[in-house]
Amino acid sequence: MRSRARLAAAAGVVSLALAGCEGSTDPERQLGESPEAAAGGTPEVGTCWAVPAASAFDAQYWFDDSARVPCTEPHTTQTALAVPLAEPTIAAAKERVGERAGGCWDVVRRYVGIDEEDWIPWGYAAYLPSKEEIANGASWVRCDAVFPETLAYHGARTITVPAAGLARDAPGDFWACLDQPPTQTEQPFVPCDQPHSYEQTGKLAILHGLDQYPSATELAAEARRQCRPGVPAGYEDVSVTAGWDPRSVLKDGSSIAGSCFMFNADGQPLPAR
């Protein structure tokens, strides 16, 4: 995994093939939560924030002074967990909720409801209190769910619904629809309620036990095998492909995942949903 605070977790960066899917689903237990977590103004699970869309995935943006807002009002992030820190520093935050088992990635994944059967474009971010809050004694780091505007995670979507369990029955406007193949990450998502070229099936293809990165031919064959069962009724004639984790993911494990997409092989657009 890339060593950074904000990590894309969608088509092309699905992250370690959902390593850690088994085990405790209690995020407080995962991060070694302590009783003082509720003290000192630590944000509650489910708190929504108006983080600037351009800053949400910025690895240099740590000290967040955004407003807390009702989740029915426009917001860009939602807290899946916040934990106290001995010192409110970037180093301490990385140590507590970094890219280890049970860190922010796993907490937010579980909070949103992401698994092999329920996938939508999603991501996470870790934030410290604002510098003013720190001066007044705040010392915590929060793990927030964020939903990207583009496949390359350039900017966060503004939403008006809670993020908890969202992937399990996601509204159509949270699906991933594209005009170019999912291998081309530098592209925005397009509205699914208009004709589009590629559409997610909501499933993930998984490859375990790898000691080297598969060839393009092998990846295509696995996408056909694993993604076909996720094609919805009425779309039997479509082809399938996957946006796979990059080669760099194998540095940290032996598994990769790919988000499944369907498309028409003759180039005709898929109908509006």
pLDDT at 99 (0 to 100): 61
| pLDDT single digits (tens) 138-162 | 999 999 999 999 988 888 999 999 9
Mean pLDDT on 186-213: 94
- The answer to whether residues 112 and 166 touch, using CB atoms and an 8 Å cutoff, is yes
DSSP letter at 129 equals P
pLDDT band at 56 (very low <50, low <70, confident <90, very high): very high
pLDDT at 102 (0 to 100): 62
* Residue 239 burial (CB count, 10 A): 15
Please report, for the chain, the start and end positions of each structural domain, with discontinuous segments joined by +.
7-169, 172-263
Q: Report the C-alpha gap between 150 and 137 in whole angstroms.
A: 37
- The answer to whether residues 165 and 113 touch, using CB atoms and an 8 Å cutoff, is yes
- The answer to whether residues 185 and 151 touch, using CB atoms and an 8 Å cutoff, is yes
Q: Is the pLDDT of residue 266 over 70?
A: yes
| pLDDT single digits (tens) 77-118 | 999 999 999 999 999 999 999 865 468 999 999 999 999 999
Mean pLDDT on 24-51: 62
Q: Report the C-alpha gap between 132 and 110 in whole angstroms.
A: 31
DSSP letter at 231 equals S
- The answer to whether residues 201 and 227 touch, using CB atoms and an 8 Å cutoff, is yes
| pLDDT single digits (tens) 16-36 | 334 434 333 444 444 444 333
Q: Report the C-alpha gap between 215 and 109 in whole angstroms.
A: 28
Cα R_g (the chain), whole angstroms: 19
Mean pLDDT on 166-173: 92
Q: Give alpha helix (H) positions in 74-157.
A: 90-97, 104-112, 131-135
Q: Encoding tokens for residue 193?
A: 């309620």
pLDDT at 249 (0 to 100): 84
Residue 140 burial class via C-beta count within 10 angstroms: exposed 0-12, middle 13-18, buried 19 and up: buried
77: closest CA among 5, 131, 29? 5
The Cα-based distances of 122 to 49, 144, 212, 232 in angstroms read 16, 11, 27, 22
